[in-house]
Structure 1
């Protein structure tokens, strides 16, 4: 009896330590992901799944890591498993939507994004990604509607504001583009193409002085940004 108790104690001790080891690897994987060290994150998270193949967090963060390094098929596989393990987690559907979008699987993207929207209606990124999908499909009105929803939910996101402004430019709605892109620029984004897009809207409205100003600002953010250089050269004497 005493011998059996010792064996059980040893087994319990080993099991506890294995679980602690797995937890530490998962924590390290998530930590490396948050540090943008995606290759290191993948190594840790893959290691977790060797011993715990149904670990939701490991599959989810593995999918996010693959998405960040543009390994979209691998991301789709990992996020698909995460969806099976936790079908009520809206961010799984959102990031699957991003993955399908990058793979140009537009109907699949809309399917999972609509499911994300059913689960959570206040995340601006759901509508932003839906807007990108509809923009690629050429359905500009639906794209604009979704970008507007995203802006309403998060008016301080300059990427979303830029997407809406850029779409207005594509539709020759330059005054609306200018108004939206001015809001984006007022947030001081470190993103050259946002200033370039605002300059384009001013140029098409005939305000060449403002256009030159924002082309120059684009080049201050990124001195090597070729589009702004070309655009500025084209209107420098106008």
Structure 2
């Protein structure tokens, strides 16, 4: 797989489900420039906005933040909208301030770690998430988030260990199964990745982000029509077209799927 495709996969990887602590950026279809190779997707409040509406949302959130910069919810919302506009450095600056005012708040620390990861500060993000976790009250979301960062750092075995710990705490959680699937996708083991993705999609509570990750996994194996069918589920027509366009752009880039097929063939011979 070429370097450019690898970067796309790592940059676009969606951490799904546990949106509060997912450390790779997830944004609107076609509007986010990253998180941790999947099709960018969105959650309704911001997810069905076009680029103009997102900019307006950022301006409104910014005004609210200026009036009350110590409010955790306002600050976290502003940082999230900034990320969806691709303004990762500014989002990180906002979360730094929120963390100063709420240094022991686990949700704030998790969101701060997300902002750090989105800005490329992976080691710092890992330290922040570890600080948010408490041994006596372990949080499966933080375990999954830690795994996602470790995957991006190339520490695959440790990452999968964290996902499995998260699944011990929250059995069959679709967002964690999806993250585990993405771990195998990043390692080019597409068949195993699909197995976990399909398990994730089959769980109650599986959201659109999980299905978009399955669509990517299927598409990378050359089953493009099936991938497009999956990508179009439960989305507005505008979102679906944006996601399908993104999916096509990833799969046609440098003939990525052919590279992966060749790699798989070499690995099995």
TM-score (norm 2): 0.56
What is the CA–CA distance in structure 2 between the aligned matches of 1:105 and 1:137, rounded to whole Å?
10
* Structure 2 unaligned regions, length at least 5: 1-42, 47-52, 232-243, 262-269
2:161 maps to 145
Indicate the residue corresponding to 1:69 in structure 2: 85
Check 1:220–1:108 CA distance in 2 against 1; reply closer, same or farther (3 A cut): same
Question: Which residue of structure 1 aligns with residue 180 of structure 2?
Answer: 164
In 2: Cα distance, 1:69 partner to 1:131 partner = 25
Aligned positions, number: 190
Corresponding position of 1:217: 226
Give deviations 1:123-147, integer Å, cap 9, x for gaps. Answer: 42x2232222111211111111122
Q: Does 1:197 align with 2:186?
A: no
Taking a change above 3 Å as real, the CA distance of residues 181 and 45 of structure 1, as seen in their structure-2 partners, is closer
Q: Which structure features the higher share of helix residues?
A: 1
Which of 107, 111, 114 is the matching residue for 1:98? Answer: 114
For the structure 1 residues 169 and 59, does the alpha-carbon distance in structure 2 shift closer, same or farther, using more than 3 Å as the test?
Answer: closer
Asked if the contact 2:194–2:214 (Cα under 8 Å) also holds between the matched residues in 1, the reply is: no
Contact 2:72 2:108 survives alignment (8 Å) = no
Contact 2:150 2:156 survives alignment (8 Å): yes
Post-superposition Cα deviations, 1:39-82, rounded to whole Å, max 9, x if no partner, equal: 44443443345444544443332222223323111111111111
Once residues 75 and 175 of structure 1 are traced to their aligned partners in structure 2, the CA distance between those partners, rounded to angstroms, is: 36
Give the CA deviation at 1:166. 3.1
TM-score relative to the length of structure 1:
0.62
Task: Tell me the distance in 1 between the aligned counterparts of 2:61 and 2:130.
Answer: 29
CA RMSD of aligned residues (A): 3.7
Contact 2:190/2:217, CA 8 A, preserved across alignment: no
Specify the SS of the correspondent of 1:35: helix
Which protein is bigger by CA-based radius of gyration? 1
Counterpart CA distance in 2 for 1:110 and 1:216 is 38
User: Does the 8 A contact of 1:162 with 1:184 survive in 2?
Assistant: yes
Q: Distance in 1 between matches of 2:69 and 2:177?
A: 40
1:113 to 129, 132, 143: 129
- The runs of 5 or more residues in structure 1 that have no matched partner are 1-32, 204-210
> Relative contact order (C-alpha < 8 Å, sep 6+): which is higher?
2
Is 2:198 the partner of 1:182? Answer: yes
C-alpha distance in 2 between matches for 1:49 and 1:168: 39
Instruction: State the partner residue of 1:21.
Output: none
Q: Which residue of 2 aligns with 1:35?
A: 45
Query: Judging changes above 3 Å, is the alpha-carbon distance between structure 1 residues 198 and 158 closer, same or farther for their aligned structure 2 residues?
Result: farther
CA deviations on 1:13-56 (whole Å, 9 max, x unpaired) are xxxxxxxxxxxxxxxxxxxx972265444434433454445444
Q: Matched residue of 1:61: which SS? A: helix
